[in-house]
Chain A
Amino acid sequence: DQQVKQNSPSLSVQEGRISILNCDYTNSMFDYFLWYKKYPAEGPTFLISISSIKDKNEDGRFTVFLNKSAKHLSLHIVPSQPGDSAVYFCAASSSYNTDKLIFGTGTRLQVFP
């Protein structure tokens, strides 16, 4: 039972354009969401997060949007750069167990020149 889903296993975007990665969740108890980025042969690294009390959080080229009613979040990367090519994992946690993260299946982003 996948509580956090990333339905697009891969995405290809031209450099300079916007990349939009999507994530859906089923558990209404989730109230904190994170995006991690993973390069080959490296561990995932934290990218950006959002609390359920917000609907948008921005950090430089990265913006995460949360739609609680739809149980959907998205990561926007503008402008996309070749160095953004990686696997992106969405993760969720709940306030009754902040230490445990539930990860999605990942989306492989390729940014081409």
Chain B
Amino acid sequence: DVKVTQSSRYLVKRTGEKVFLECVQDMDHENMFWYRQDPGLGLRLIYFSYDVKMKEKGDIPEGYSVSREKKERFSLILESASTNQTSMYLCASSSGLAGEDKKYNEQFFGPGTRLTVL
């Protein structure tokens, strides 16, 4: 079974702090993703990575950065946390190999980190 783990389930930080959210997958997946989930807004993509040391901006990258030094690990960094970054953060990974019909690439999600910025 694919396992995606996130370093913390709950995190409370103060405004202005630097925050690191860690994600590790154990299936040798090429792709990794960071989303945030907010009520009424669904899942929004922050950043994703197709390979080690490669990253691409998603739909809402402002205020975030990422790091992927090893294939299995993808970190999300909040350089200076703000209250509007209070959210549920979800990490996901996928194999980079489309399914039989060549059109689908299932993403496997971690349990999420509930971040509160005070």
Contacts and interface: CB of A to CB of B under 8 A. Distances in A.
A43 B105 contact: no
B9 interface: yes
Interface in B98-118: 98, 101-112
For the residues of B in contact with A, the DSSP-based class is loop
Most chain B beta-carbon neighbours within 10 Å: one of A34, A43, A104: A43
A41 B106 contact: no
Contacts, number: 65
B96 interface: yes
A101 B92 CA distance: 11
How big is chain B's contact interface, by range? 20 to 34
Given A42-B111, A43-B110, A43-B111, A105 B40 contact: yes
Given A42-B112, A98-B98, A103-B44, 11 more contacts: A4-B42, A9-B40, A31-B103, A34-B104, A43-B109, A45-B109, A98-B103, A98-B105, A99-B31, A99-B94, A105-B41
